[in-house]
Amino acid sequence: MSNVNKRPKTVTALDAITADLVAVLVAVTDGHPKIMTIEHAGALPSGPFQFAHRSLQMGLRAWVEAQTGHPLGYVEQLYTFADRGRSGDPDAPHRISISYLGLTREEEGREGADAQWSSWYDYFPWEDHRDGPPAILAKIIAPRLKAWARAAEEPALQKTRWRRAAITFGLDGREWNEELALQRYELLYEALLIPESVREQGGEAAVPGRAMAGDHRRILATGIARLRAKIKYRPVVFELMPDEFTLLQLQRSVEALAGRLVHKQNFRRLIEQQELVEETGAMAADTIGRPAKLFRFRQGILAERAVVGTKLPLSRS
Amino acid sequence: MSNVNKRPKTVTALDAITADLVAVLVAVTDGHPKIMTIEHAGALPSGPFQFAHRSLQMGLRAWVEAQTGHPLGYVEQLYTFADRGRSGDPDAPHRISISYLGLTREEEGREGADAQWSSWYDYFPWEDHRDGPPAILAKIIAPRLKAWARAAEEPALQKTRWRRAAITFGLDGREWNEELALQRYELLYEALLIPESVREQGGEAAVPGRAMAGDHRRILATGIARLRAKIKYRPVVFELMPDEFTLLQLQRSVEALAGRLVHKQNFRRLIEQQELVEETGAMAADTIGRPAKLFRFRQGILAERAVVGTKLPLSRS
DNA sequence: CCATATTATGCTCAAGGAGAGTATAAATGG
DNA sequence: CCATTTATACTCTCCTTGAGCATAATATGG
């Protein structure tokens, strides 16, 4: 153990490592959760890591703002990937990818030629349960996972596999848990049901859902899972909202991210009792039905809530 | 934006980056939360990053087991630090530190010459509230933070500073929140009240608590905060327990990590109703008072609970 | 003008969970 | 036997949460 803390004194070519940033930039535009993509919606924005800033956070912030013109509201580090074989070429220089989650608002005409906003459900069609469980689940995913489970040699493994599938995808009468987005992707990956794993290890059919370069879709799944967990106890949704909004718009944004519906009255109760918002005095125009009050996020509450906590109602049942 | 995704083709010396792993290895020995340290308890175990494994997780696992002989139960990535100026020398090769949290059991005679187990409250004496708020809080920390707040130029900033201090440290009648360990460290760092920041930016007095090399104490604080949050909804405590244990021993371990006490009866109620444990049939020997039943962790439940969730009672009041 | 659709908003209720307290049981050491 | 210590079983109350009912305010089509 005594040699563990010896730090390398020199950097040789053999040690060569490159690091880059990968960003999951999220916005919600009238009920659609979007992510910034490049390469014809086939990759997440990424770029070589620069040490020009005091911290990774600030580096990412500056980088995103320079590249996209979007100010970044909330930033959070997601995960650092350095798995061998990510590039496919064993002699390639080792690459570490540090991924971040960032929240913004979609703004018109800000994207570059290569950059665009894409709905994240294009990549994960099984994740949107706002209109009930998507047909693809029962029709395609469940049967294939069952086949995968049955393909195991030992009966014990068959059972374990199927139980895992049932838990993560809410099959066999189990509840759907929207926070398991990453586990679901990883399970499909392991079962060779998505192009990314088929590409690497060879396999047959894939499940619907747009693929991405490298492991970008895994990174996106990580971001979705993290954000879905976070909105339940931190007021991060507000970063995605315009300055003024109705409570229904706020609710729709939460639902868009969570991929499931929320009880309207209870949602309002929770929002109001936590004093997260205040009335602007104005009413929403151009709406169907009874006009709604406009609200704005209470800035004063931010400092406190950012540390402590907030609750949003997302039932598990 | 179109140049964002261009990956660097060659690695030049200018790009040189080194990566290393830093581990927060936690064990609990009869009520004392311990971490593995090296360099006379002045640093966390760390070492150059090897790409010899399929993933960072597995790399860390193999590395820790080789170095310490400890099998690693639970492993979780904490954070990747790459702040400029971490080494002090601006010409030094850039270093990225990927930190991990690992849970084990302390075992006799396994440590190397340089490695030892240290109580984590040696580094964060203000974090242990099992015997009520530590005296150091009211006597030393609160006054110094008040002075720091008052030292601000503008009255508004003074107020903001003090409010932040009060929230994170539970002052002014606010509740203590054990999960804010990282925020507390960062606040003290910012207020130049700990050796690490004084060392960097110059300052006066420091608050009690052992310092560590580099930003290791920040990493440790990150690990503590993460673990304290995690034990409330994932059954990770069991990784720290021996094969058989009494419910009180289990409770004491939770309390050691959380740094606060738990209502005994409610703790048992929650543990039992979740079917996390099963009786071994044996009773604890060599105890004072009425002998307690011995329990073991229900292995069967692991697969399910690892995905879903568990609750441990840690009141906020 | 009225019926209908659509959204906003206020209120109630029942079940479950969480925090806290009481009471009793089983051991040990004097 | 008594004090002490730990184990274990219940109970009670408050709060939260999920869910539904009822009503208000607007627009539209007939």
Q: How far apart are CA B27 and CA B80, in angstroms?
A: 23
Q: Residue B247 CB closer than 7 angstroms to strand D?
A: yes
Calculate the average pLDDT of chain A.
Answer: 83
Q: Specify the CATH number for the domain of residue B107.
A: 3.90.79.10
**Number of other residues whose CB lies within 10 A of the CB of residue A144:** 19
Query: Cα B16 to chain center, whole Å?
Result: 31
Band the pLDDT of B5: cuts 50, 70, 90: very low
Task: With both helix axes pointing from N to C terminus, report the angle between A299-307 and B155-169 in degrees, rounded to the nearest 10.
Answer: 30
H-helix or E-strand spanning residue A220:
helix A216-230
The pLDDT value given to residue A203: 57
**Number of other residues whose CB lies within 10 A of the CB of residue A279:** 11
For B80, the token pair is 């990747």
Does residue B228 surpass a pLDDT of 90?
yes
Q: Which nucleotide is nearest to A291 (CA to C1')?
A: D26
From the CA of A124 to the C1' of D21: give the distance in Å. 37
Does residue B101 surpass a pLDDT of 60?
yes
Query: Tokens 């999220």 label which residue?
Result: A26
Q: Within a domain: residue A169?
A: yes
Highest mean pLDDT among A56-60, B33-37, B233-237: B33-37
Q: How large is the average pLDDT for residues B225-240?
A: 91
Q: How far apart are CA A221 and CA A123, in angstroms?
A: 9
Sign of torsion over alpha carbons A65, A67, A70, A74? negative
Q: Compare CB distances from B180 to A83, A93, A307 and report the shortest one's residue.
A: A307
Examine the domain organization and report whether A172 and A271 are in the same domain: no
Nucleotides of C under 7 A from a protein CB: 5-12, 17-22, 25-28
Q: Within a domain: residue B227?
A: no
Using the 3D structure, point to which of B102, B122, B142 is the last residue of a domain. B122
Q: Compare CB distances from A8 to B18, B52, B68 and report the shortest one's residue.
A: B18
Percent of chain A with pLDDT strictly greater than 90:
52
Tell me the chain B residues in contact with residue A111 when contact means C-beta distances shorter than 8 Å: 1
Examine the domain organization and report whether B43 and B82 are in the same domain: yes
Sign of torsion over alpha carbons B283, B285, B291, B296? negative
Q: How far apart are CA B52 and CA B196, in angstroms?
A: 34
The amino acid occupying position A276 is L
Examine the domain organization and report whether A110 and A21 are in the same domain: yes
Band the pLDDT of A83: cuts 50, 70, 90: low
Q: How far apart are CA A277 and CA A247, in angstroms?
A: 9
Q: Within a domain: residue B161?
A: yes
Q: How many domains does chain A have?
A: 3
Examine the domain organization and report whether A265 and A289 are in the same domain: yes
Does residue A146 surpass a pLDDT of 60?
yes
pLDDT digits (tens, 9 = 90+) for A65-76: 776 677 788 899
B82 touches chain A (CB under 8 A): yes
Does residue A12 surpass a pLDDT of 50?
no
List the 5-44 stretch of B: residues with Cβ below 8 A of A: 5-8, 11, 13, 15-20, 38-39, 43
**Number of other residues whose CB lies within 10 A of the CB of residue B178:** 21
Does residue B12 surpass a pLDDT of 50?
no
Q: How far apart are CA B215 and CA B43, in angstroms?
A: 9
Q: Which residue is nearest to nucleotide D9 (CA to C1')?
A: B265
Examine the domain organization and report whether B26 and B85 are in the same domain: yes
Q: Specify the CATH number for the domain of residue B280.
A: 1.10.10.10
| Of the listed ranges A181-185, A288-292, B149-153, B223-227, the one predicted with least confidence | A288-292
Examine the domain organization and report whether A76 and A102 are in the same domain: yes
Examine the domain organization and report whether A117 and A19 are in the same domain: yes
The pLDDT value given to residue A315: 47
Using the 3D structure, point to which of B94, B122, B150 is the last residue of a domain. B122
Using the 3D structure, point to which of B145, B177, B209 is the last residue of a domain. B209
Band the pLDDT of A181: cuts 50, 70, 90: very high
Q: Within a domain: residue A19?
A: yes
| Angle at A259 (CA atoms; ends A126, B312), nearest 5 degrees | 105
Q: How far apart are CA B217 and CA B222, in angstroms?
A: 9
Instruction: Concatenate the DSSP letters of all residues of B172-218 into one string.
Output: TTPPP-GGGHHHHHHHHHHTT-SHHHHHHH--S---SS---STTHHH
The pLDDT value given to residue B36: 93
Does residue A53 surpass a pLDDT of 70?
no
Calculate the average pLDDT of chain B.
Answer: 83
Examine the domain organization and report whether B135 and B49 are in the same domain: no
Non-local (6+) Cβ contacts of B34 within 8 A are B26, B27, B28, B106, B117, B118, B119, B120
The pLDDT value given to residue A94: 74
Band the pLDDT of B65: cuts 50, 70, 90: confident
SS3 content of chain B, % helix, strand, coil (to 5): 40, 20, 40
* DSSP assigned state of B25: E
Q: Within a domain: residue A170?
A: yes
For A10, the token pair is 């020199």
Nucleotides of D under 7 A from a protein CB: 4-11, 17-21, 24-27
Percent of chain B with pLDDT strictly greater than 90:
53
Tell me which chain B residue has its CA closest to the CA of residue A49.
B15
Q: How large is the average pLDDT for residues A231-250?
A: 91
Band the pLDDT of B155: cuts 50, 70, 90: very high
Q: Residue A232 CB closer than 7 angstroms to strand D?
A: no
Examine the domain organization and report whether B131 and B203 are in the same domain: yes
Decide if B114 and A5 are in contact by the 8 Å CB cutoff. yes
Q: Within a domain: residue A218?
A: no
Examine the domain organization and report whether B68 and B111 are in the same domain: yes
CA atoms within 13 A on the CB side of B246: 15
Terminal-residue alpha carbon distance, chain A: 49
A51: left (phi over 0), alpha (psi -120 to 50) or beta: alpha
Query: Cα B315 to chain center, whole Å?
Result: 19
Does residue A169 surpass a pLDDT of 70?
yes
Q: Within a domain: residue A215?
A: no
The pLDDT value given to residue B93: 60
Examine the domain organization and report whether A64 and A23 are in the same domain: yes
| Of the listed ranges A224-238, B108-122, B136-150, B184-198, the one predicted with least confidence | B108-122
Decide if B19 and A83 are in contact by the 8 Å CB cutoff. no
Examine the domain organization and report whether A185 and A110 are in the same domain: no
Please provide residue B269's backbone torsions phi and psi, each rounded to the nearest 5 degrees. Answer: -55, -50
Which residues form the domain of A58? 13-122
Q: Within a domain: residue B317?
A: no
